[in-house]
Amino acid sequence: MTTPTQPTPQPTPPTEPASNTSAPWSRLDSALTGGLALALAALGYLVFAVRSNEADVATARRQLDEARASLKRAESSAGIYGDTSKAALVASEKAVPDTQPYIVVSIAENRLWYKLRDSVLFTTRVATGTGKTLKKPGGKEWKFETPRGRLKVEKKEVEPAWVPPDWHYIEMAKKKKMRIARLEKGQEIKLSDGSVVTMVGNDVVKRLSGGEIVPYAVREGHEIVADGRMVIPPLSSNQRKYTGVLGAFRLYMGDGYGIHGTDVPSSIGTSASHGCVRVRNEDIETLYQIVKIGTPVFIY
């Protein structure tokens, strides 16, 4: 009889296989835990970095805003000044007169320009006042200078007659070493030969002792002389009017001053006049034609 064979007890599997099953998870766990720790640390760092960078951005934003505000202020102030200067220039343009021609006379250069704005329409040499003085009988004196300032052409004259002022006779008398005798209308100057100098109508005449009347013929340098005295004729007399001395035309500027021609063309370009502006006769003809009454005359 055979005894059933007892099955051979199987050896208990070592616990090793069980340990082997949980070990990978455990390793994975620890790896994951390590990774998680690192990730959390990184998270902490990054949160800090974000906050720091947010602050940085806020600062940069503020700086940018401030810079923009400064720029705006700077631009607006530049604009203000720009506008001011434009306004000033407009004001300047308004100050320029209309398109009216004008005359400029330089006393120092003895030159005349007829201009329209900056364009010279005509220019020529002139003679202006000498600047010399002559004593008046009363103690004061005449100064023969061309007046500086703004004048204007008040009238245009053809064949102007020169009515010599008193200084002309005083100057001539001084030159010829004579005394002066002033003849008033209705008066007479008795002469040593019995004749008299008097007025008949508008003429200064010499009435001879026999009653004969001889009108005086005068011209510049040949004034009436009576017994060694130079006679100043009345202003209204014909003997107080010299023709041809001022050329064919005159642009009268008032107060006795004018731009006129001359019978002494060699004086042009020098300081030779008694205050008027002398030009050559051909130039006064041109000026007479192109200059209108009312034209401003600037003398400097």
Partner 1 sequence: MPTRTLAIAVGLALALAGDGWLALRVRSLQAEARQRRTDAFGTATATADAQMAAQRARLQGILDRVRAEAGADRGLHLSVQVDSGTATLERDGLVLHTMDVDLGPESLVGVAPDTQRLATPRGVRTVKSVVAKGQPFELPEWLYRERGISPPTNRKLKGALGLGAAFLEDGTLIYAQPTEGPLADSLYVWPGAVRLSADDLKAVLPNLKPGVKVYLF
Binding site for partner 1 (CB under 8 A): 25, 28-29, 32-33, 35-36, 39-40, 42-43, 46-47, 49-50, 53-54, 56-57, 59-61, 63-64, 66-68, 70-71, 74-75, 77-78, 81-82, 84-85, 88-89, 91-97, 102, 104, 106-109, 115, 118, 148-150, 296, 298, 300
User: Minimal distance in Å, beta carbon 151 to partner 1?
Assistant: 12
**Shortest Cβ distance from residue 166 to partner 1 (Å)?**
26
DSSP-assigned letters across all residues of 126-179: -BEE---EEE-TTS-EEE--PPPEEEE--EEEESPEE---HHHHHHHHHHTT-E
Angle at 12 between CA 10 and CA 16, to 5 degrees: 140
Toward partner 1, which CB reaches closer, 18 or 89? 89
In angstroms, what CA-CA distances link 40 with 30, 272, 284? 15, 111, 109
Compute the half-sphere exposure of residue 236: CA atoms within 13 Å on the CB side of its CA: 7
Nearer to partner 1, 61 or 292 (CB): 61
CB atoms within 10 A of CB 196: 16
Q: Which is nearer to partner 1, 81 or 140 (CB)?
A: 81
- Say how far apart CA 282 and CA 200 lie, in whole Å: 37
Q: Measure Cα distances from 63 to 51, 60, 67, 69, 77 in Å.
A: 18, 5, 6, 10, 21
Q: Tell the smallest beta-carbon distance from residue 115 to partner 1 (Å).
A: 8
Nearer to partner 1, 65 or 193 (CB): 65
Of the pair 30, 187, the CB lying nearest partner 1 is at 30
Q: Which is nearer to partner 1, 54 or 212 (CB)?
A: 54
Instruction: Sort 114 into a burial class: Cβ within 10 Å, 0-12 / 13-18 / 19+.
Output: buried
> What's the closest the beta carbon of residue 132 comes to partner 1, in angstroms?
15
CB of 273 to partner 1, least distance (A): 16
CA–CA dist 132, 273 (Å, integer) = 10
| Cβ at position 133, least distance to partner 1 in Å | 16
Closest among 270, 257, 273 to 108, alpha carbons compared: 270
